A and B are shown apart, each in its own frame.
Chain A
Amino acid sequence: GQSLEQPSEVTAVEGAIVQINCTYQTSGFYGLSWYQQHDGGAPTFLSYNALDGLEETGRFSSFLSRSDSYGYLLLQELQMKDSASYFCAVGTGGGNKLTFGTGTQLKVEL
Chain B
Amino acid sequence: DADVTQTPRNRITKTGKRIMLECSQTKGHDRMYWYRQDPGLGLRLIYYSFDVKDINKGEISDGYSVSRQAQAKFSLSLESAIPNQTALYFCATSDGGGLAGGETQYFGPGTRLLVL
Contacts and interface: CB of A to CB of B under 8 A. Distances in A.
A50 B42 contact: no
A48 B42 contact: no
Contacts of A41: 109-110
Contact of B110 (A42, A99, A101): A42
Given A42-B107, A43-B90, A91 B102 contact: yes
Interface residues of B, number: 28
Chain B contact residues: over half helix, strand or loop, or mixed? loop
Interface string A35-70: 100000111110010100000000000000000000
Interface in B12-64: 31, 33, 40-45, 48, 50, 58-59
Contacts of A100: 42-44
Contact of A42 (B58, B101, B104, B108): B108
A96 interface: yes
Given A91-B102, A98-B103, A103 B42 contact: yes
A96 B43 CA distance: 16
Interface of A: 8, 30-31, 33, 35, 41-45, 48, 50, 87, 91, 95-103
Contacts of B44: 100
B107 A43 contact: yes
Contact of A44 (B40, B99, B102, B107): B107
